[in-house]
Each structure stands twice: as C-alpha cells, then as structure tokens.
Amino acid sequence: MSKKIVVYNNVERFFHYHLVHLVAFLTISGLPVLSHTFDFIAYGLGIPVAALTNSQNILSAGMSALRFIHYSSAFLLTLLSVPFVFMIVRKIAHLSMWPDRWGVQATIDGFKEMWKFYIKQEHVRFGKMNAGQKLFAQIVVITMIVLAISGYMLIFRESISSDLATYARAAHAISFIIFGMMLIIHLYLAVHPTNKNSYDAMFHTGTMDEDFIKEHHGIYYDKLKKENKI
C-alpha cells in the first residue's frame, strides 16, 4: 500500500474549510449592494426579518440584515485569518504559489503544460500547484488583501475622508468582481473529476498517496524527496 503524504496541514484545512462558508456569506450578503440584479436575496431575507421586526420596508429590512451578516462574517474571517497568516508569513519564501521558474518563457511553458493536461489529457509533471493554480492563488491573495483593507475603510468611513471612502468602495467592488471570476474557475476545477484527490485531501484526509504525487505532481515529489520528507 502506498504511503500517505500530508499535503495540507490542519491549519490550512481548518482555514480553507471555514473560508468556504464565510466567503459564501460575504458574497451572498454583498451582492445586493453591488447590483440591483441581486435584490431578490435582500427581499428573500427581508420577508422574515420585516415580519419579526415589524418593519414596513422589506428591502430595507433585508439589506440591514445582510449588512449585519456581511460585517459579522468579515470580522470572523479576520479572526480566522490570524493563525493562517502567521503560519504563511513564517514560510513565505517557500509557498507553493511562487513559480518554480521565473520569466516569460517559464510562464508560457507552464500554460502549455496546463493545455496538455486539461485539454489533451496527457501526462504532465506538475509541482504541488500548476501554473494556473499559482496565478489563481496570487490573484486571490491580492484581491483578498484589497477587499479586507477597503472593507474596513468602509466600515470606519467616518474616520477617513469622503474621497478616500469613495476609492475604497470602488476598490472593494472591483477586487470582488476579479475575486468572483477567479472563484468560479476555482469551484469548477475543485469539483472536476481530475482533481478528486486534491479535493479529498483538502476536505477529508489532508493526505495524498505517494504514488499519486509521484505520477501527477512529479516536481513536487522531487522537492519532497530532496527535503527528505518522503
């Protein structure tokens, strides 16, 4: 039987697990502010809230409740991020999101490898993450930092200038839209049959078979071998 290798530690899995529902809460509660297209969310929540609070306006009641959920989720996510960020900062230079090779040619090669794997279904030697996953992780980290900073600026907007608050509102929306598009790709690939082992490792076991890593994540396998972790 193949040896089990820990690919996601408990802190990473705990953070990701709770990140899923907190991001879901933040997205659902933020969308009606972004666009009237999502007013139905506020109306849906507004009906029971208005009935309970004896409010005359369903949309306002729903939006106020959504704002409470948005602020609470943001606060919880901030708390949750503390140990994760602490862990990440300690090994910042060795994160999987950094490219194994830098430069334009390396990037092109990375995407060629992805093309072979996802389109041609050929065998490819990836690191722990492929080029797309690395790019995704970098964009998500940047957008989440912008979202957090601009979000807190908006919560405490009375302490900053009106112009700065307007910039924060725009930055919050723009970074969310970029984050949202990345999230759709991430969700699709997370549940894609080819990534079942990664899904199981993140949500259930935290581990992958040594043979699987050797076959599908050859560069990562070599790295683990070099570091005497296998």
Partner 1 sequence: MSVNMKCYDTTPCIRCFACMVGCSVENRLRLQRESHIGIEKSVQNRLTYLSHLSPQRREFGSFPNARQVTAFHHCNHCEDAPCLEICPVDAIIRRDGKEVVVVQETCIGCSSCLDACPFDVPVIKDGKSYKCHGCYDRVENGLKQSCVSACPSSAMFSGTKEEVLKEAYKRAKLYTEKTGKEHVVYGADEVNSTVGELRWVTIVPKEDLEAYKLDTNPKKLVMSAREAVKVVGSVGSVAIVAGSIGHLIYWLGKRKEKISKGEVEEK
Strands 4-6 and 207-209: antiparallel
Of 25, 98, 37, 29, the C-alpha closest to 63 is 29
- Closest to partner 1 by CB, 96 vs 197, is 197
Indicate whether 230 belongs to the interface with partner 1 (CB under 8 A). Answer: no
Integer Cα distance of 230 and 43 in angstroms: 54
Q: Does 165 bind partner 1 (CB under 8 A)?
A: yes
Q: Which of residues 36-55 bind partner 1 (CB under 8 A)?
A: 36, 39, 42
Nearest approach, Cβ of 148 to partner 1 (angstroms)?
18
* Piece of the chain touching partner 1 by CB under 8 A; list 30-38, 83-91, 97-105, 213-221: 30-38
- Identify which of residues 35 and 105 has a Cβ nearer to partner 1 in the complex: 35
**Binding to partner 1 by residue 184, rule CB under 8 A?**
yes
Rule CB under 8 A: say whether 71 interacts with partner 1.
no
The distance from CA 66 to its chain's CA centroid, rounded to whole angstroms, is 21
Binding segment (CB under 8 A) for partner 1, from list 3-11, 144-152, 182-190, 222-230: 182-190
State in angstroms the smallest separation of the CB of 50 from partner 1: 12
**Any alpha helices (H) in the chain, and if so which ranges?**
10-34, 39-53, 58-90, 104-118, 131-155, 162-191, 196-200, 210-216, 218-226
Among 59, 88, 95, 219, binds partner 1 (CB under 8 A): 59
What's at 28, amino acid-wise?
I
Give the integer Cα–Cα distance in Å for 156 and 5: 45
